[in-house]
Amino acid sequence: MILLVISVVFYIMYLGTFSFYLMIFMISMPVILFALDLYMSRKLKVSFRQKSLKCPASSVIHPELIIENPTIFPISNLEITLEYNGAVETGKNLTKINTPVLPMETQSLKMNVASLHIGIVDFRIKKCRIFDLLRLFHFKLRSKSFKQGQREMSVFVFPQYSHLDNAVSDYSNFGVETDEYSPDKKGDDPSQIFDIHEYIEGDKPNRIHWKLTAKQDKVMVKDYSLMMTYAVRIFLNLNISRSQDYDIIVESALSVSMLLVERGIAHTLEWLDPKAKKLKSYNIKNEQEHLDCVDRLIIARTYIDENNEIASFTDESDFLVCGHLIVVSKPLSNQSISKITESGFASKYTIALVQNETDTGEQTDSKISDNADIIYLHKDRITAAFSDIIL
C-alpha cells in the first residue's frame, strides 16, 4: 500500500511515460497477485504419502508430505499447519511448516519426528495457506485440495522389549479348559492323542496302543495331548495420565508376555475398554498371536478415572480363576493392592508398580504375603525389577 501511494505521488510530481507505467504496474500488481493466489489455491494439492508408519520407540520417524503443483506458477510461501496427538495426550498439538513450491512439480517434504513415547500418534493436515510474494493476500486451500483418505496418517510406536530370563512355574492344573491343544508339547489329556511311538523303557503300560501293537507286531505307545489353559493373566492398568507411566507399563507387560511365548506358556493379556466398561482379553500361545495383540494394545486409548484407580475385579462371573495374576500399573493405594491380592482369582499375584521419578526414596521388592509379591518399575531397569520373580 505504501509503494502504491508513492507511485501515484511520483506520477503526479514527475509527469512522463516512466512514471505512468510505474504507477500502472504498482496498481495492477496487487490485482495480479490476488488473482494468482486465488487460482493457485484451487489447483494445489497436499497429502500424506503414507496412511500409517511403524517404528520402535526412541527412534526418528519421517512422515512425508506430497505437494502437487500442476500450474506454471511458483508459490513463494505455502504454510502447512499440522495437528497431532499421542496415546496419553488429551489435547491437540500444532506445528507449522513453511515451504516454497516450484511450478509444474510434485514435491516431497520429509519431516523428522522423534518418537519418544510408545503408542499411536495421529497426524492431520489442519489447514494450508498460500501467501503471495509480498504477503499482501493469503488463501486457504479448499477441502477438495486434500486427497480423500490422505489428509490423516498414524504412526504406531512400538516398545523395545526388556530381556527377561525368569523361571516359570507349571500352572497346568489352573486356568480355563479349552478345546485347544499344544502343537508341540505332550500332556496328560486322554481325549486327544498327541503322538504314537514305539515303546521305550519308562513308558506307562496303560498307554500302550493295543490295536496298533497287534497290527504292527511291536509295542506302540500313545502320547496324550496338553490342553491349553491360559493360566497366566497379565492385566495392564491404562487409567493413567503420564506418557512415562504408559511406556513403562506397556514395555513391562509385553516383555513378560514375550518371555512366556518363548517358554511355550499360554497366557492372557488384558486391559479395560473405558467405553464398553469391559475387559479386553486376548489369549496368546505363540509369537504371531502376541504380535496381533500388540497391534490392538497400541491403538487402545488410555483414560482417567479418579474415582477408581484400577479396574475393579468384583464380578466373579467375568473374571476367571487363574494360576498367576500379574498386574502392571501406576502407583496404587494399599486399599487397591489388597483388593487385588484378596480377590481369590489366582493362586499367585505379582503387583508391578511404576515408581515416580520424583520419588527418591529407596524401595526394595517386598513380599505382601506368601502368594503375593510387589515390585517397583523404573525406566531402563525393568529387567532388574523382575529378576527375582518366578513367573
3-state secondary structure 347-379: EEEEEEEECCCCCCCCCCCEEEECCEEEEEECC
Residue 380 half-sphere exposure toward CB, CA atoms < 13 A: 2
Confidence at residue 361, expressed as pLDDT on a 0 to 100 scale: 47
- SS3 (DSSP) at 380: coil
CA distances from 107 to 64, 70, 143, 182, 222 (A): 10, 11, 20, 53, 67
pTM for the whole structure: 0.71
User: Which phi and psi angles does 50 have, rounded to 5°?
Assistant: -110, 150
Closest by alpha carbon to 150, among 47, 44, 45?
A: 47
The predicted pLDDT at position 219 comes to: 79
Mode of pairing for the β-strands spanning 119-131 and 45-48: unpaired
Q: How far apart are CA 193 and CA 207, in angstroms?
A: 10
CB atoms within 10 A of CB 122: 15
Grid cell 504419502 — which residue? Answer: 49
Tens digit of pLDDT per residue, the chain (391 long)?
A: 555 555 555 555 555 565 555 556 666 677 777 888 888 888 888 888 888 778 877 778 788 888 888 888 888 888 888 888 766 665 677 888 888 888 888 888 888 877 777 878 888 888 888 888 777 778 888 877 777 767 888 888 888 888 888 888 766 655 455 555 556 566 656 666 666 777 777 777 777 776 777 777 787 777 766 656 678 889 999 888 787 888 889 899 999 999 988 888 888 898 888 877 788 888 888 889 999 998 888 888 888 877 777 765 544 445 567 788 899 988 888 888 888 888 777 888 889 898 866 554 445 447 677 788 888 988 878 888 888 887 7
Residue among 36, 105, 38 nearest 68 (CA): 105
Work out whether strand 366-369 and strand 372-377 pair parallel, antiparallel, or are unpaired. Answer: antiparallel
Helix (H, G, I), strand (E, B) or coil at 205: helix
Q: What's the half-sphere exposure (Cβ side, CA atoms, 13 Å) at 133?
A: 9
328: closest CA among 289, 299, 297, 370? 297
Q: How far apart are CA 364 and CA 386, in angstroms?
A: 12
Cα-flanking dihedrals φ and ψ of residue 363, to 5°? -120, 125
